[in-house]
Structure 1
Amino acid sequence: MDTLNPLRGVQGVGVLNDQVRAKILEIEMEKTGELIPVINYGVHECLNREYTVAIIKTASFRPPPTATVQLVDTNGNILGEEIVNAEQKRKYSNDENSTFVTPDFVLTQDPKILEESLKTERLEKQGAKQAFVLPPVQFIEVEELEDTCDVVSSSPDPLADLYIKQYFNFEDDAKLASILVGFNVKKD
């Protein structure tokens, strides 16, 4: 916690007990009926570590080192992803197969093909062929600690974010967000 509290934008840090971890997992599992499902793999990975820490932060906190949202198909192919840095933006700007749907999200396949696939899916009422995946993301500040290993981080679902903020006595403020950091302790 001494490593995390001084980071720019951090408003609070706390260790999650088993009861809070179970409630977050329950909230994450309640997502149903979405045209394109959201799978928060990162949060699941954080909660599967020995320790899970919640950070309450403002927008001045550093950006993530890699994409926190990806659109993937059932074969694991990345169909689109969040843009988090200039290098990634240049890469996709120079790729004729890529289409920016917002300044911060790019489709890596022709949008017409993806749209047709979604329409077919809805009409046939088949299982989803795509999903938004929130992958685990590096958290360098904790990785650099001598006794930690298997470090991952992720942003929780908006309802889980609200639960975490309330648990740590923060108001429901849109200027605040939570991040989970999960890690194990090295065994000698």
Structure 2
Amino acid sequence: MTEEIQFYLSEAEESMQKAVQHTGNELSKIRAGKASPAMIEHLRVDYYGTPTPISQVANIAAPDARTLLIKPWEKNMIGEINKAIKNSDLGLNPQQEADAVRLNIPALTEERRRDLVKQVKAETENGKISIRNIRKDVNDSLKKLQKEGTAEDAVRDAEGRVQKLTDNYIVKIDELLAKKEAEIMTI
């Protein structure tokens, strides 16, 4: 197997790992009925004129399964954090305290759980599409190598390896889906 083929295979594997990690990160943002700091870390607040992630201006803690406590490092950020949460699509109502913002996470209804599962499935499908696109790009590169004179057998073997990688990483995404789905549907 040539160095070029090995390079494409290692690139494919690295890209597929990143796609699985990205999918996992996106799934962590979807709430599963219990409080998680990842739910709001992506929200941005106006920090002296600059949109800044909440996690960079405050500590976010989950003191119990139904509560998030956001303690800003500067008290004047409480109002900004409150506003960012109200304007988000989370549907949560922040409670402003003296030096913190408290978020009570309501229990999920059956209908809301089904909606969240649909959202999770859409996100994992995006991950699978990303992996398939990586496979397509690598196979196109391998075909170019074949046109440039690389042995047909070597290219065919490499395509087989790319397919095995694709299958393995799609299984990993399916595992993420199953885990998150179980987490959401557990009452």
Which bin holds the TM-score, normalised by the shorter protein? under 0.3
Instruction: Give the TM-score taking structure 2 as reference length.
Output: 0.25
Please identify which structure carries the higher strand content: 1
Please identify which structure carries the higher helix content: 2
